Amino acid sequence: MAQSFRQTDILELARQHGKVTVEDLAARFGVTLQTIRRDLTDLAEAGQLERVHGGAMLPSGVSNIGYEDRRDLNSAAKAAIAARCAAEIPDDCSVFLNIGTSTEAVARALLRHRNLFVITNNLNVANILVANPDVDIMVAGGMLRRADGGLTGAMTRDVIEQFKVDIAVIGCSALDHDGDLMDYDVEEVHVSQSILRQARRSYLVADHSKFQRNAPARIASLGEIDGFFTDRPLTPSLDRLCRDWGTSVVVA
């Protein structure tokens, strides 16, 4: 089967089932695993699918993809982004890390830092940082979201508003072409907005897949963020906006 026809069929299967796997597609089309991986990479670069561990799925529009799939999505890029972000966080400071697999990667990159005070509404972040005895951890309580260990709601915001942190590190579910940070959960958005208000400096960590996604709720503009850590260059128009805003962009 010609590549273009095969990729069209792959997209149709993804629409029918939500997710496709490399092994199933290779068996269906009678081609090698490497051929299917190339097809999925092409479709992902065109913004038509999102690569996840072992396969791909449709880009999400109004609801987020599952936590396990998000954790596996672009994991190497997230680790590189996290390392660059962590390099900008000094010892002896206070940090807020919010919900997300990218901020969890930052937590892992902070395991050798000393004398940090970390506030988080992400139970996964807290569990990661337990391994570093030089980090004091404050968990902002609230309603637990079982799917990803996130805490949201008025109680979470009340805790955040009792602090003024040196650095806030946040993630987002999507990044619009005009530089708006977007998410799916309005309660999570309110928490992220509180975090930004209570931080002296703010960093966004987001890999290139966020440029290919849509989400309905607005967190803030990149113009309100001090530094953006990502893994691919921005579009020329968004790069110009960041320069005008004074938002530094670091490509890992």
233 with 125, same domain: the answer is yes
Q: Assess whether pLDDT exceeds 60 at residue 196.
A: yes
177 with 95, same domain: the answer is yes
Q: pLDDT band at residue 211, thresholds of 50, 70 and 90?
A: confident
Q: What is the pLDDT of residues 56-94, one digit of tens each?
A: 887 765 445 555 555 556 788 999 999 999 999 999 999
Taking each helix axis from N to C end, the angle separating 3-17 and 33-45, rounded to the nearest 10 degrees, works out to 80
> Into how many domains does the chain fold?
2
**CA–CA dist 157, 125 (Å, integer):** 18
**CA–CA dist 158, 231 (Å, integer):** 34
183 backbone dihedrals φ, ψ, rounded to 5°: -150, 175
Q: Assess whether pLDDT exceeds 90 at residue 133.
A: yes
CATH classification at residue 49: 1.10.10.10
64 within domain boundaries: no
Q: Assess whether pLDDT exceeds 80 at residue 34.
A: yes
**What pLDDT is stored for residue 52 in this prediction?**
82
Q: pLDDT band at residue 186, thresholds of 50, 70 and 90?
A: very high
**CA–CA dist 78, 82 (Å, integer):** 6
Least confident of 35-44, 124-133, 161-170: 35-44
| DSSP assigned state of 176 | -
**What pLDDT is stored for residue 91 in this prediction?**
98
118 with 241, same domain: the answer is yes
Q: Assess whether pLDDT exceeds 70 at residue 152.
A: yes
End residue of a domain, out of 59, 87, 103: 59
**What pLDDT is stored for residue 17 in this prediction?**
72
194 with 90, same domain: the answer is yes
Domain hosting residue 133, numbered range? 72-251
**What pLDDT is stored for residue 14 in this prediction?**
83
**What pLDDT is stored for residue 1 in this prediction?**
57
**What pLDDT is stored for residue 148 in this prediction?**
86
18 within domain boundaries: yes
- Give the HSE-up count for residue 173: Cα atoms under 13 Å, Cβ half-sphere: 24
**What pLDDT is stored for residue 63 in this prediction?**
47
pLDDT averaged over the chain? 91
Calculate mean pLDDT across residues 103-116: 97
